[in-house]
Amino acid sequence: PAMPSHIAVITSTQGAAIRDVISVVRRRFPAVRLSILPVQVQGEESVAQIVEALRFANLYRKDPFDLVLLTRGGGSLEDLWSFNTEPVARAISASRLPIVAAIGHESDVSISDFVADLRAPTPSAAAELITPDGEVITDQLNSLKRRLKLSVGQKMQDDLREVGHLKRRLRHPAHHLNELTQRLDDLEGRLNRSVQNILSRGQSRLSTVHLPSPTAALASRRQRLANLQEKLKIVEQNHRRDMQARFARVSGKLDALSPLATLQRGFAIVSNAETGKVLLNSEEINTGDRIKTRLNKGSVVATVIEREDTP
């Protein structure tokens, strides 16, 4: 793994190998935890102890290991022979955890080196391989922090400009609704006048024509007028409902784009109290300047007594 958090080190506690590993790991990445599984690395009991340590590392579940480092310092072929045995090789091969082997010096080669997932020439080199460089990670985090800060500031500026642009372009829906209501009133008046004209012309014609009875015709006209008035009411109600829905959608979009929504989530907008300019970083203000902090409810005006710049 690129960034392990818990490493099992199988080695002798008496040799220089463990001191080299601890020194390199603490220098490169102090956050990683090392658990030493002490074993004899040569002699009659060494093979059984190494096999048991590998088995324990794979079965340990309370605080699982991310990988295993199997290492020892240099020595003669006889000293290193435990790492050429079949039981040790089979235990390495059966491990579910990645195993890094660093047996002896660079010129020393054992069967364990070939069976392991990765071979390192020395214990110190193994410690370099299994840990990331903490300084590089710190630099990367600082770079990401600066980029995030600039991105958030730019996003807030863009949102403020977008809200201002929408406010300038958008007419209040209530104004448009009033215009449509007035237009409906005008149409209703024209319709009523048209109906009255039709009735007047009909009455004039009836006065010159002798019909058995105008009652049926008048009833039909009245029914038609009632139907038209009912349709007009329905059209007016539907139009009002559509305009109210459109007003709600536009209001929702304005609320979503508004910086006030950001303030409600616990953020604040800090600006120069004199110029009103929104501040994105501490370098835009000096000690003694007055700043205004806009909160979700209300604002606070303060004087800068100390400036703390972030690298």
**Rounded percentage of the chain residues whose pLDDT exceeds 90:** 43
Model pLDDT for residues 36-65, shown as the tens digit of each residue: 999 999 998 999 999 999 999 999 999 999
Is the same domain home to 25 and 118? Answer: yes
pTM for the predicted model, two decimal places? 0.47
Domain count, the chain: 4
**Dihedral of alpha carbons 223, 226, 228, 234, sign:** negative
Mark whether 37 and 148 lie in a shared domain.
Answer: no
Q: What is the DSSP string of 267-289?
A: --EEEETTT-PBP-SGGG--TT-
The answer to whether residues 61 and 150 belong to one domain is no
User: Are 67 and 147 part of one and the same domain?
Assistant: no
The answer to the question of residue 115 being in a domain is yes
In a domain, 177, yes or no: yes
21 and 126 in a single domain? The answer is yes
Q: Which domain holds residue 193?
A: 171-261
What pLDDT, on the 0 to 100 scale, is given for residue 28? 92
Domain check: are 87 and 182 in the same one? no
Using pLDDT thresholds of 50, 70 and 90, give the confidence band for residue 310: confident
Residues 86 and 48 in one domain: yes
Q: Domain containing 54 — which CATH number?
A: 3.40.50.10550
**212 pLDDT above the threshold of 60:** no
One domain for residues 158 and 206: no
Return the half-sphere exposure (C-beta side, CA atoms, 13 A cut-off) of residue 131: 28
| pLDDT grade for 221, boundaries at 50, 70 and 90 | confident
Asked if 215 and 293 sit in the same domain, the reply is no
Please check whether residues 209 and 95 belong to one and the same domain: no
Q: Is 166:257 a contact under the CB 8 Å cutoff?
A: yes
- Residue 209 reports pLDDT greater than 60: no
- Cα–Cα distance measured from residue 67 to residue 7, given in angstroms and rounded to the nearest whole number: 5
Q: What pLDDT sits at residue 110?
A: 92
Q: Are residue 124 and residue 10 in the same domain, yes or no?
A: yes
Q: Quick one: pLDDT band at residue 142, thresholds 50, 70, 90?
A: confident
